[in-house]
Amino acid sequence: MASKNDCKNWKRDVNKYILKADAEMFVQMLTAKKNCERQELAGAFWADATSKRNYKSFRGVVSFDATFRTNMYDMVFIPFTDIDIHFKCVTFGAALLAKEDVQHYDWLLKAFKKAFPVVPQIVMTDQDPSMLIAVQSVFLTARHRLGSICNQIGSNLHVDWVQSTISFGVGHAISRAGFKSNISNIVWTDRLDPDEFDRRWFSILHKYNLDDHNWLIDMFNLRQKWIPAYFRDWDMSGLMRTSSRSESGNHVFQQLMSRSSTLVEFISFFETAMEIQRYEQSKNDHESLYTTPKIETQHPMEKHAGKVFTRAAFFMIQGQMQAATRYCMSYKIQKLSEDTTKFCIGDTSVKTSKLMRQLT
């Protein structure tokens, strides 16, 4: 049986041994504790060399949204997307997150900044509150724009319309039938200035008796984050309308991936999707550089556009150029300064008395 002195001597000898490796043993104990805890992947972000080169060319606007979960661990998949010169989605990088909260989004955006030191000018996201906080915290110099809001108008008003039908009869519901069309006409245009947009918004709401609709009031208060009238001076790189560009780009990933995939299978599917995307980009580049589109008018303007524009851009404006050469003419030329001349153009296809007076 050990005496009290024996215990003191044993403790003295143990301490003497510990002092030789105290710090090392401390670290080893903490490491062992960590290894015994449950290990989980909280987040991953990756971008290869090609993605970084693409970002250098198209770094003005970045759109990202967490649209679906894509592996057996129920992690959300988040690609970072822009639109290339062919009006097709180009992916800069992608991420997997275990949770959609401020902490995880904050980590993700900081990882993006580490890979791409130049912060984008405009960031487009959905209305996820955690995402909004993280963007404002990490991308300090970026303008934040919300997408997909106008697509929600029908669903957010549907219940109200049904209630109106019950309370006021079919006529009242029919009177609101054109609301979405009217509101879309002022939402999906950058031809209005902010003051004109505000005036027409209130006019439409008053017309359809929606002045007190809470969701529409909230959306109007957020108008500087989603209405094109407030982004007139910004190049939206083909993403002006909505972050559905990101969602349509994600469709390719969705076709190849499965919620039952392991992480190894997931990254293999992702690489396949990226190969498809980059093959299409290469094919579009080749077509724009080495082929000539069909010229309809033989006008020098159309011929020049066919040489310098990508095929997608050329076909987008070809009809406008044809109409311009056929129906538009200059009816007044005014010298404003040494370097500036003003041309007044009339559209002869518009048979109005005002225009005819101008042309004569």
CATH code for the domain in which residue 242 is found = 3.30.420.10
**Both 71 and 140 in a single domain?**
yes
Beta bridge partners of 293: none
In a domain, 251, yes or no: yes
**Both 32 and 174 in a single domain?**
no
**Both 73 and 128 in a single domain?**
yes
Domain count, the chain: 4
Angle ∠(149,153,158) on CA atoms, nearest 5? 150
Q: What is the pLDDT along the chain (360 residues), one digit of tens a residue?
A: 556 566 566 666 656 665 666 667 666 766 765 565 556 778 899 999 999 998 888 767 888 877 666 666 778 888 998 888 888 888 999 998 988 899 999 999 999 999 998 888 888 888 888 988 999 999 998 888 887 665 566 556 554 444 444 333 344 443 456 787 888 888 888 788 899 999 999 999 998 888 888 888 988 998 888 888 888 777 655 554 444 455 555 666 776 667 777 888 888 888 888 998 999 999 999 999 999 898 888 788 888 999 999 999 899 888 888 888 888 887 788 888 888 998 888 877 765 545 445 555
**Both 178 and 249 in a single domain?**
no
Neighbours of 252 (CB within 10 A): 18
**Both 257 and 269 in a single domain?**
yes
In a domain, 286, yes or no: no
The length of the chain, given as a count of residues:
360
The reported pLDDT for the residue numbered 148 is 60
**Both 121 and 182 in a single domain?**
no
Supply the mean pLDDT for the chain: 78
**Both 53 and 118 in a single domain?**
yes
**Both 58 and 121 in a single domain?**
yes
**Both 339 and 351 in a single domain?**
yes
Whether the pTM exceeds 0.75: the reply is: no
In a domain, 1, yes or no: no
In a domain, 292, yes or no: no
The 10s digit of each residue's pLDDT in 195-236 is: 999 999 999 999 888 888 888 898 899 888 888 888 877 765
In a domain, 295, yes or no: no
In a domain, 226, yes or no: no
Q: Which domain holds residue 154?
A: 150-221
Quote the CA–CA distance of 276 and 120 in Å, as a whole number. Answer: 25
**Both 142 and 243 in a single domain?**
yes
In a domain, 294, yes or no: no
The phi and psi torsions of 355 (rounded to 5 degrees) equal: -65, -40
Q: Go through 274-301 and write b for each residue having 16 or more CB atoms within 10 A of its CB, e for each that does not.
A: beebeebbeebeeebeeeebeeeeeeee
**Both 114 and 51 in a single domain?**
yes
In a domain, 291, yes or no: no
**Both 76 and 203 in a single domain?**
no
